[in-house]
Amino acid sequence: MNPSFPSHGSGLGPRMSEIERLKNYFFQRLNHFVTRLRNTKLDNSYESFETLLYGRHIVAPFVFGLDMSQPFCPNIHSVGFLISRSREMTSINSSLMSWMNGCTEGILYINLGSISHFSTEWTKGLYESIDKFTKEGLMCVLWEVPDNRRPPLVGKKNDVRFRLSPFFSFSRLLILHHKNTKIFLTKCGGNSVYEAVESGVPILGLGFLPNEMDMCARAQDAGIGVALDKLVLNSSQFINGVTQLKNNQKILGNLMKIKRMGYLLGGSRKAADVVEFVASLDANSEDFFCPFTQLPFIERHDLDVFLF
């Protein structure tokens, strides 16, 4: 529970104010308690958070510059991108490709998954923002959403600047790799942020769940995107976020740096090597685990230095 590391579900980035550090402190203790409950066994014994993190080998799709704000112990194996690079069997259909090619001023690609089960307050600002955005003609908008998840948009028809499509049968990487795709509006779930980095497309993050908010905050802190607040979202905030991202050379440079780092770490091949290596080790591999984790809680967090 390093106090300098943002806690899971807090929606905080590595650079925190004093108020945010206090919030992070309580989130860390809450997560510690929840982890203990989840790992309680039938005999009421449990694996501590420290054992879970420092007592086993962990393969993590972390990328320096995006995910890491502190060094990890040798048992944490960062492997970078775990994105499949296999050849696509399905390509973009000719109608959609023609429309995308015609959007020379840029495309805002939206993929928020199934969001209709979220509250009206959370989604109202989003629908109003996109409607105003398309009317002002700042960029083309391509929104990928399931047919049964778009009641608020049922009256909005496709035109030269707006296209509403059901989930594509092909990978969204094909959309992100298109030369006219300039911004990706995502809830930062799954591999979406890593796919945007791999494609070199700035991120407009709108996280709804705690883990999504965490990833959006990291993307903003890494200088590759802007995180929107679902509770106060309006058209002005939305358009301002797009304006910050569109053709921003600094952000494009940051994306390139993180992309290089992601591939340098080895990807799926490195992950497979780690699995094979760990399988070949004896049960005793304590040399991979940081000695400081064996210290008492007070010494591990330097409380003895500050209090005595």
Segment 88-135, tens digit of pLDDT: 556 788 889 999 999 999 999 999 877 656 667 777 777 788 888 888
Q: Which residues contact 243 (CB under 8 A, 6 or more apart)?
A: none
Q: The tokens 């409950």 sit on which residue?
A: 37
Where along the chain do the CATH 3.40.50.2000 domains lie?
A: 94-262
> What is residue 117's predicted lDDT score, i.e. its pLDDT?
61
CATH number of 94-262: 3.40.50.2000
Percentages of the chain per state (helix, strand, coil), in multiples of 5: 45, 10, 45
Of the chain, the percentage scoring pLDDT greater than 90 comes to 24
Mean pLDDT for all residues in the chain: 79
First-to-last C-alpha distance (Å) of the chain: 21
Ranges 118-122, 158-162, 217-221, most confident: 217-221
For 243, other C-beta atoms within 10 Å of its C-beta total 12
3-state secondary structure of 142: strand
Block residue for tokens 């778009």: 150
DSSP 55-112: SS-EEE---BTTTBSS---TTEEE-------PPPSS---HHHHHHHHH-TT-EEEEE-
User: pLDDT value at position 149?
Assistant: 52
